[in-house]
Amino acid sequence: MTGKAYTTSTKKTVIGKKNITLKAPEKGQVKWQTSNKKVATVSKGKVKIKGYGTVKIEAKVNGHTYTYILNVKKPMLKVNKKKVTLKKGKSLKIKAQSNGKVKWTSQNKKIAKVVQGRIKGLKKGSTTIIASVSGVKVKIKVTVK
C-alpha cells in the first residue's frame, strides 16, 4: 500500500497512573496527539497518565496513522485476611482480588516469607506482609508462634 494513507489501532489496558512508552511501528518524523489530556498526555511516545478513563493516542508518521486506545483503570486490591497467626514451619495462602499483578513483600523475611500470596512462618515473632498493585497497598499482620 505504498503512498496510501491507512490507520491501524491497538487496544491496551493500563492499571493505575503509571507512565508508559509507545513506539510508532515505522521510522520517520512522528506527530503524537491525545484525545483527552485529563486522562493522558503524550510527548515523543512517552505517555503520562493523569486520570482514569479511555483515551486515544495517535502516532502519525509517513502518511499513516497508528492509534492506541488506552483504557486506564483505577487499581483495585482486596485480600481475604488482614490478620494471620501461623505456627513455625506452616504456611497459609492469602487470596487476593485485583485488576492488576499483585506484588507481595514481607517486612521481616526472617519471621515470615511470602511468595505469590503464600505466607510461610519461619521464626517466632510478628511482621507485616504487604500486597500492592500500582500504588494501592494492603497490610496483613502476621504472627508466628
Q: Looking at the structure, do residues 98 and 83 belong to the same domain, yes or no?
A: yes
Q: What is the pLDDT of residues 83-93, one digit of tens each?
A: 999 999 999 99
pLDDT of residue 7: 61
113 in a structural domain: yes
Report the number of distinct structural domains present in the chain.
2
Q: Looking at the structure, do residues 83 and 140 belong to the same domain, yes or no?
A: yes
Q: Looking at the structure, do residues 34 and 52 belong to the same domain, yes or no?
A: yes
pLDDT over threshold 50, residue 2: no
Of 45, 73, 101, which one is at a domain's C-terminal end? 73
Q: How high does pLDDT run on average in the chain? A: 91
pLDDT of residue 139: 97
Predicted confidence band of residue 5 (pLDDT cuts 50, 70, 90): low
Expressed as residue numbers, the domain containing 12 is 7-73
What does DSSP assign to residue 117? T
Q: What is the pLDDT of residues 34-59, one digit of tens each?
A: 999 999 999 999 999 999 999 999 99
Least confident range of 13-17, 82-86, 87-91, 97-101? 13-17
Q: Looking at the structure, do residues 120 and 81 belong to the same domain, yes or no?
A: yes
pTM confidence score: 0.73
CATH code for the domain in which residue 109 is found: 2.60.40.1080
| Angle, vertex CA 105, rays to CA 89 and CA 22, nearest 5 | 145
